Structure 1
Amino acid sequence: MLRYEILDYLKRLYPRWVEETEIISVFYQYHKVSEIKRDLYYLVDKGYVERKEVEIPYRTYNLKNLFKLTPLGIDLLECRIKDPAIPIPEE
């Protein structure tokens, strides 16, 4: 269900890029950080979410990860395609 929740969250913000820390902050009360990251990167590997690293000048940690829903991810949420690993609840 977490995979679906991440996709749904990113769809509400589409087409905006979202920082990894923002995504974690939305779900960490109910899921472990490691689970959130695992499922987020799974969605990237499946092509439902796009990831890019951007450099932040003048910071100790000068790279941050940004994520955005892809057209394939939208198709999954709108039930145009199916993936048994990501059940989409019926409305």
Structure 2
Amino acid sequence: MGKSQVNVAMVGLGFGAEFIPIYQAHPQANVVAICQRNEEKLNKVGSTLGIDKRYTQFADVLADKSVDFVHINSPIPDHAWMSIEALKAGKHVMCTV
């Protein structure tokens, strides 16, 4: 990555939303996007935590060139394929179980 800040996209906003303030408090992290299938929940978290870029489709996160890495907090059965697709898209990946 070689830059002073990394741009994070949080995928899955159940337990995953709890990580966002941690990233926001870190001087080398920038939460640039969030992703959640449920648009109502997506907008609530985005508005509460001040995140403008919001996606309901994981493929849109992967297409976003500003995203350096994805932190995946989706349902566990989705972790493998999402991680593989993110890596194929050139993103770094973190998964939480």
TM-score, scaled relative to structure 2: 0.34
The structure having more radius of gyration, on CA atoms, is 1
Larger RCO, structure (CA 8 Å, separation 6 or more): 1
